[in-house]
A and B are shown apart, each in its own frame.
Chain A
Amino acid sequence: MHEMGIANSVLDAVRAEMSRYPGSYPCKVGIRIGEMAAIDQDALRFCFEAMILETDMASLELAIEFCPRRHHCLECENEFVVHDYDSSCPQCKSLATKCISGDELELAYVEVEEYAASTVGAKST
């Protein structure tokens, strides 16, 4: 439902970052979405593509890394992926475990490429 706002925030971040790279364009943006982040990946892709359509970022690819819910066991230090909401430690069965990831809604990276024209320009000088 709020994926449009999320897509917009991602594009704002890319635009802001690109101001530091004149003569280049963004070809891919990588984000991380946690299992518990309440973001629908398909809806986000749909919104993202609708927003870049016929803009200068039309070729921008969205790479989504899905992050499962992971817990850390406070008893035996084991780290494990939580399946079916069972957050007890599979190793020592302790219930004293703490969530360490799965809530991500993060910008990971942007891949930038120099415009061909500027490359040619650079060579000719």
Chain B
Amino acid sequence: MQRVPLERKVLSENDRVAAELRARFQEHGVLCLNIISSPGSGKTSLLERTLETLPKHDRVAVLTGDIQTENDANRLKRFHFPVKQITTGGTCHLDARMIERHLADWKLEDLDLLLIENVGNLVCPSSYDLGEAAKVVVLSVTEGEDKPLKYPSIFFKSDLLILSKIDLLPYVPFDMEAAAENARKVHPGMEIVKVSCLTGSGLHEWMMWLEQQRRAHKPLAQTIVG
């Protein structure tokens, strides 16, 4: 019997494609964000409000993932930015190959920002690198403040936590402080933004965070010229 060392990631093939995507995003100065949450936490609503707020000629595109239907893409297309639906047909997460395939007929040089809405799921998307610069996790106030402890991986790996649907706070027993504390237990120092897509509360902070990321991500030459 012989023991052969393998010493590589189980998802090394996904990671290889993701690394290629990341290099392409960097080369073209595209900030790519991977937005993750449970089903129904408000990812699409957040994207609707985001696209509505961005300038008409902003260089933004959206990939939106679901198991079935083109519903989300149809909701997002009315803002006249390029939007593509990825229907996984049963797979509970997006992987790097799906992103690569759906980007094939978009020119990255025409983009500054690529927003990816993952399949609604707090578990599996956390294992699959899509080449993003950062993951953003959305948690709605109807879900319970202990979610960061129950699903630590995604909170651990995300740069920003968006607490959504805060307009419902008067009607649900959700302890905002406990939610933030739980998130920071799993991910010390995690940035948190509280939003309501219905009232618009907190959207300014989210857009500021986004702008900050975009600035930080621009290639140096472009920043100097701009």
Contacts and interface: CB of A to CB of B under 8 A. Distances in A.
A38 B124 contact: yes
B7 A108 contact: yes
A3 B1 CA distance: 28
A111 B10 contact: no
Nearest to A85: B185
A21 B185 CA distance: 47
Interface residues of A, number: 35
Interface of A: 1-2, 5-6, 9-10, 12-13, 17, 21, 24, 27, 29-31, 36-39, 85-87, 95, 97, 99, 103, 105-113
B16 to A, nearest CB: 12
Interface residues of B, number: 33
A29 to B, nearest CB: 8
B13 interface: yes
B88 to A, nearest CB: 11
Nearest to B92: A1
Contacts of B154: 38
A36 B152 contact: yes
A37 B127 contact: yes
Contacts of B92: 1-2
